[in-house]
Amino acid sequence: MSVTRLLTSAALALGLASAALAQDKTKVGFIYVGPIGDGGWTYEHDKGRLAVEEHFGDAVETVYQESVPEGADAERAITQMALQGADLIFTTSFGFMDPTLSVADKFPDVKFEHATGYKAAPNVSTYSARFYEGRAIQGHIAGKMTTSNIVGYIASYPIPEVIRGINAAYIHARKVNPEVEFKIIWAYTWFDPAKEADAATALIEQGADVILQHTDSTAPQAAAEKAEGVITFGQASDMAEYKPRPRVSSIIDNWAPYYIARTQAVMDGTWESQQIWHGIDEGMVEIGEITDAVPADVKAEALAMKEAIATGEYHVFTGPLKKQDGSDWLAEGETADDETLLGIDFYVEGLTAEIPQ
Amino acid sequence: MSLSSIDATLLLASLIVAATPILLAALGELVVERAGVLNLGVEGMMITGAICGFAIAVQTGSPLVGFVAAAAGGAALALLFALLTQVALANQVASGLALTLFGLGLSALLGQGYVGIKPPPTARLDLGPLSDLPFVGRVLFSHDPVVYVALALVGAVWAFLKYSRAGLILRAVGENHDAAHALGYKVVRVRILAILFGGACAGLGGAYISLVRVPQWTEGMTSGAGWIALALVVFASWKAGRVLLGAWLFGGVTVLQLNLQAAGAAIPVEYLSMSPYLITIVVLVIMSFDKSRAPGSLGRIFHASQ
């Protein structure tokens, strides 16, 4: 055996070995829209990532990039992660939808999972949680507890997910309190603590004594805490540091089981593109502890509603419901189908504001 | 639409709070630029001040000590910039941008243990009977001390630049550093002091966000306030009075547009969202049609041998 041949085979063996090693370790990437310390949306996704690391130990390596802006720069960030050899990439904001699909097209062997979007591909799955189920419970508590009958709502962007949440909260607040009025501020950001705090303050100054938020930081909680007698709800994360007041309950996104299951699927080679939308029933949406600031009977009703939603006995969007313009949407006893809900772009009757176009 | 739900008193009071961080940062940058240095690191110094102030206030339980620490933190970062640009003669634009990136990263690192913690409350200054006056009392005389420090600083900077000998020297250094040097003034020393002052002001502004306006620590929480302060200095034609006007305009329109949205005004939200930037720029540009211009040596590197 000549020296050259020996070296070649040695190199070949080494190459095979390292390839095998690389195959052993599944690389999972995460693209975040905010910093992992936002205490809300991104914080919960990162908890899911840590759960993946803990569950699989050395078999998995995770990487993440935080504060990735929605738009052109997102494509660069996702591409970079794919080039680094990620086998599975979770892109965790609505605005990453088109960048994800465009990168997925260039990397057919990499699996992608896009959160809260509606476009899929052979190697792109979408996953989202039925946050509106939690919003309904918040609406119920808000309608019961408001004394000024004004509920403030800090919205982020006019996309179906946010509009769905406003509708769900409003329907259930009005059901228990026909006098209730919603004041809505569009922040046009997912994360800007100073602006979120200002928005909360503006709403409180205009008489709101309940603040609902669809932005990611805990700043509105801090602003509400400074005011007297205002209640809030944790968004995306428990925000437990503001218990028992102003935060009286919360919607918690629990991504960990899903992230672990999908990572497992990639390792087993059983990963397939799917579009899933899980709610309270599957445990992707959790309702954080309802504190003692809420009267016992209201708390009991809220928990009963949670139970009814979980068992499928009650659907949050059950007719009779009309659209804002007065036209019929759902007849008596009819429930909204997922397709309508996923693309919802109208308010229900009674909301006075307009959706920005 | 129910504009009656907007309370003018509360609106004006929140305007002053919303304007204070950018006012402080812009005042500092104004002095820096009048000394002929362009420091683009305002955002980085602000966020560093925000976490330094927050951490120290939490540790000591005293917001006052926190604000002092914030000024020190901002100044420390500014010292780095001063060393780079005044001693090592590095490019000011590149150093300033690097300072912002560095500040954002450093603050995220320092702030790791401070997420979800509440800072000690900053008490309102008790001005006795003044605070009880109708309208004026709520708008002007019931704020925390930092608001008054910022306002006093506007007057102090204006008087310093206009009437004091030291202010004249600083302006001379900014207008023509070679001439100032020929007259025997210590160009580098003056500039380093100005840069430190700018850093301290930016740090105070950042801490105002984390200790009073929000109040909590969240990574990246200044989210662009430093850049607005920078723009404000230019549009205010490097004049302290106009910086105050610009900061109030910007803070005022920001708060007003949120209030208009909440009141359900029939103006498209997109226009409301861009209105603070637009209105501030338009007003200050119209005002700057007089003969004001940038300091002559702004952004130029000085070396005594040249």
Task: Look up the CATH number of the domain holding residue B199.
Answer: 1.10.3470
Residue of chain B with shortest Cα separation from A237: B116
B63 in any annotated domain? yes
What DSSP character marks residue A189? -
Q: What is the pLDDT along chain B (306 residues), one digit of tens a residue?
A: 456 677 888 888 888 989 999 999 999 999 999 999 999 999 999 999 999 999 999 999 999 999 999 999 999 999 999 999 999 999 999 999 999 999 999 998 999 888 778 888 888 877 778 777 878 887 888 888 999 999 999 999 999 999 999 999 999 999 999 999 999 999 999 999 999 999 999 999 999 999 998 888 888 888 889 999 999 998 889 999 999 999 999 988 888 888 888 887 778 888 888 888 888 888 888 887 776 788 999 989 998 875
Residues of B with Cβ-Cβ distance to A198 under 8 angstroms: 14, 18, 213, 254-255, 258
Q: Which of B117, B214, B225 sits opposite A219 (nearest CB)?
A: B214
The pLDDT assigned to B3 comes to 64
Q: In this structure, which topology does domain A3-130+255-278 adopt according to CATH?
A: Rossmann fold (3.40.50)
Strand, helix or coil for residue B161: helix
Closest in B116, B218, B261 to A241, CB measured: B116
Across the interface, do B262 and A186 touch by the CB < 8 Å criterion?
Answer: no
- The predicted complex's ipTM stands at 0.82
Give the phi and the psi of residue B115 in degrees, each rounded to 5.
Answer: -75, 135
Q: Is residue B295 part of a domain?
A: no
- Residue ranges of the alpha helices (H) in B164-208? 165-175, 177-182, 187-208
- The residue among B258, B270, B277 with the most chain A CBs within 10 A of its CB, best to mutate, is B258
Contact yes or no for B221 and A188 at CB 8 A: no
- Cα A61 to Cα A357: distance, rounded to the nearest angstrom: 42
Mean pLDDT on A78-99:
94
What residues of A are in contact with residue B215 (Cβ under 8 Å)? 222, 226
Nearest-CB residue to B262 (from A183, A218, A223)? A183
Residue A125's pLDDT band (cuts 50, 70, 90): very high
Collect all residues with Cβ–Cβ distance below 8 Å to A319 and sequence separation of at least 6: A329, A330, A331, A332, A333, A334, A335
Give me the domain span that covers residue B233.
Answer: 3-121+141-287
More confident residue, A8 or A277: A277
- Return the residue in B216, B260, B272, B273 with the most chain A beta carbons within 10 A, the one to mutate for interface testing: B216
Closest alpha carbon to A228 in A164, A147, A307: A147
Q: Contact B5/A194, CB-based, under 8 Å?
A: no
Q: How many Cβ atoms sit within 10 Å of the Cβ of residue A217?
A: 36
The answer to whether B169 touches B190, Cβ cutoff 8 Å, is yes
- In this predicted structure, which of A41-50, A287-296, B282-291 has the lowest mean pLDDT? B282-291
* Contact by Cβ (8 Å): A277, A130: yes
* pLDDT given at position A11: 52
Domain-wise residue ranges, chain A: 3-130+255-278, 132-252+289-342
Q: Do B116 and A39 touch (CB under 8 A)?
A: yes
In a domain, B127, yes or no: no
B164: distance to nearest CA of chain A, Å? 37
Q: Using one digit for the tens of pLDDT, what is the confidence trace for A67-76?
A: 898 888 899 9
Residue A263 has which token pair? 């990572």
% of chain A surpassing 90 pLDDT: 69
The model carries a pTM of 0.84
Q: Is residue A33 a contact partner of residue A68, using CB atoms and an 8 Å limit?
A: yes
pLDDT computed for residue A53 by the predictor: 94
Least confident of A311-315, A342-346, B290-294: B290-294
Q: Which residues are within 8 A (CB) of B130 and not within 5 positions of it... i.e. 6 or more apart?
A: B137, B141
Residue A89 contacts by C-beta under 8 Å, 6 or more apart in sequence? A28, A29, A30, A31, A78, A81, A82, A100, A110, A111, A112, A113
Contact between B220 and A35 using a beta-carbon 8 Å cutoff: yes
Asked if the structure places residue B292 within a domain, the reply is no
Average pLDDT score over chain A: 89
How many CA atoms are closer than 13 Å to the CA of B218, on its beta-carbon side?
33
> How many structural domains comprise chain B?
1
**A172: how many CB neighbours lie within 10 A of its CB?**
24
pLDDT band, residue A135 (cuts 50/70/90): very high
Q: In this model, does residue A284 exceed pLDDT 70?
A: yes
User: How many residues are given for chain A?
Assistant: 357
CATH fold label, A132-252+289-342:
Rossmann fold (3.40.50)
Distance CA A22, CA A20 (A): 5
